[in-house]
Structure 1
């Protein structure tokens, strides 16, 4: 799913030339890539907020959620704001108060199942820079004020700027900006991995502008490859382990780009190259080299690399087996908020292992943390533990909420269990889940805890299946 917003006609700020054209270009490009696109131009604050709220709900069942914004953007107090058509320009703070924050945009894409991307084509001149006598970031020559500050997206979300934070994006001489033109051309390139696609966009814009404009990305996608076009799209539907192995299917030219990115310290590139060398069926199979690549990414603070390296030390794959080092890496990864590591530590404490004494209470704490990070299996397991009455302070309504979130995340096991074996949960939990389905307009029947055809239909709809 994609939400496209372009603002050209401002009530209280200079109009922009290419933003509507750019929005339409990206919209048409994404439609050809089978996106469900919602496009809106010259909208005000209230409509913008309503669109984001609806998109946040609807994109929960999408594999990919993408927001593209073209218009004025400003930074106030370290927070980025995207300016709607009717923003109040009385002061810089009033502009912020009547605009949409980047945090709002990030929340709107946050629950998509595989890929979350925010693209801001809004690093133009800041028309509000002197509204209250205070400047924002300036270029070295101090002659032009710019608009946006570096964002801090959650791991698993990519934010792309048309120009590096603190720099200016150009409108170009044609009907579309250099950035939008490069983005549209690149996204539809067949069999081009999405992370590498944004590197190609950067290179294309640099060339088109004579190095005057350099797009920049912030945040990080997951370590699994993803393709928007071409036969490689079949990779997107594979299970997690197979998705990682699929890095080895990249063409040589894309592997070379990964190697360049890895030398620059790009952790996702390091992981991609490592996964290539962990595929036993690939011609690049080399576990010791994979461990070295993951070590580098882990040293740079990447929690996914820490987790994968921990598994290698646990099993002695590519490295000498070292259970203590494995446990240290699991804990570092968990401390950095990596849900897989947190969930695994839950099982280690629940069952005992790696020298950890069995501690069910501690295990439940880990399962809860992983569930709150929307780890699919953890949400289901934590709901079952709550239903069993062994999680202090949690009630059937909490169990139902985790089951609902697991459904929305695309957890097939939850859909299967609730469809085929609903009696594994108490009636009180089933009633609470029916209420949650009803609140989201997925169910209109009686709240009785009986999962008949109408409830089953609601479960499928909440999961994202249409009748």
Structure 2
């Protein structure tokens, strides 16, 4: 879901090599062009005083822009804003708002949101009731998109007596190809 621009990557590289002023300038340019992750990073850096003196007003401005992108339908922003409310990342802890954004992102087709919404229905977390039918529905939607954690979960659920089936290996391979290290490890352990 997160395909960052070359400018965003350059901003992070500048930050990593100790050039916070350049990093902030580049990140703010990305945020101005509407990159959700850049809006959050810019807000964070202004909040924490990274590369500039702390500026809570500018931080709040970029957080508002981030939420505006979510309102405009950006699935990445919807997922991010929901997570920021869920874990109080620069925003106040607000599970109701977090769930609102999670549900919008999931309904819009964000596999990450679909997987987490399924998990919350399965486990009854974050004010969601335990509802196996809703959980199965959201897992199915995430699975159909090839969400790596969901592929991994399905693979582990179809192991037979601790042995991997051909179908499980195929799902693990797909998840590993999408960068899920647990899937790569488990697949290797069954293939040796």
Q: Normalising to structure 2: TM-score of the pair?
A: 0.73
Structure having the larger proportion of residues in helix: 2
Q: Where do 1:451-466 residues align within 5 Å? A: 451-452=191-192
Residues 406 and 256 (structure 1 numbering): CA distance in 2 closer, same or farther, change over 3 Å? closer
Name the SS of the counterpart of 2:125 in structure 1. coil
1:295 has 2:78 as partner: no
Higher RCO (CA < 8 A, seq sep 6+): 2
1:267 has 2:39 as partner: no
1:354 has 2:126 as partner: yes
1:204-247 Cα offsets, whole Å, 9 max, x none, are xxxxxxxxxxxxxxxxxxxxx435xxx93997xxxxxxxxxxxx
Gaps of 5+ in 2: none
Name the SS of the counterpart of 2:80 in structure 1. helix
Aligned partner of 1:232 in structure 2 is: 13
Name the SS of the counterpart of 2:93 in structure 1. coil
Native 8 Å contact 1:371 1:402 kept in 2: no
Larger Rg: 1
Residues 257 and 374 (structure 1 numbering): CA distance in 2 closer, same or farther, change over 3 Å? same
Aligned partner of 1:116 in structure 2 is: none
Residues 341 and 256 (structure 1 numbering): CA distance in 2 closer, same or farther, change over 3 Å? closer
Aligned partner of 2:185 in structure 1 is: 416
Residues 282 and 341 (structure 1 numbering): CA distance in 2 closer, same or farther, change over 3 Å? farther
CA deviation after TM superposition for structure 1 residue 290, in Å: 4.4
Gaps of 5+ in 1: 1-154, 159-192, 197-224, 236-247, 390-395, 423-450, 453-467
Name the SS of the counterpart of 2:9 in structure 1. coil
Residues 411 and 252 (structure 1 numbering): CA distance in 2 closer, same or farther, change over 3 Å? closer
Name the SS of the counterpart of 1:313 in structure 2. helix
Aligned partner of 1:332 in structure 2 is: 104
CA deviation after TM superposition for structure 1 residue 360, in Å: 3.1
1:260-317 Cα offsets, whole Å, 9 max, x none, are xx2xxx431x430322323676626756444312111111110111111112222344
